[in-house]
Structure 1
Amino acid sequence: MLVSEITPDLVRHLGVLARIQLSDGEVERLTGQLDAIVDNIAKVSEVATPDVAATSHPIALENIFRSDVPGDLLTPAQVLQNAPDSADGRFRVTAILGEEQ
């Protein structure tokens, strides 16, 4: 097993790099947490072999796509029949840009 190299000084340095001001309590807590993370990564690295394929998900996933076939289309009149306001075969909406645009 790999001996951890996470020290409070390293955590303070990482805080400076990330521009995060850490209190002494936060440094102590993060030192332990980062130490545990590094140890777990080392354990995974020990058992990872070329015989085992890398996976992003434990269960094989497959996208199911439907055929892209156009169906029954609405006429312009059907589209606009419930519109609060329309003109010239288009939706009419309140202007959001100033007159200069």
Structure 2
Amino acid sequence: MSTPTDPGGLGPLHAEPVSLYPPFRQRPDTWDHYPDRHDFYDALLTALGDVELGSWDLRTLHWLAGWDAPTVASICSLIHRARAAEHREGSNP
């Protein structure tokens, strides 16, 4: 899996993403399993990495996890890309 220090597959999305994790434009090996709310929530937490979360943050993530797969994947992609950009600029995430 890619991380903010390894920005592989983190380019801008010009079409609906097909994966919850980088690279977002490549179908995962487990495509026979359609992701559910729990998978969406895990993907959002993974994208956020070690960001400290409060109870309202977690409530919001649960709400976001209720959206469809392409929407959640797009949000995950944005978070991963923002973290990668911050890392490239030499900032601490």
TM (norm. structure 1) is: 0.32
Higher relative contact order (CA 8 A, sep 6+): 2
Point out the structure with the larger helix share: 2
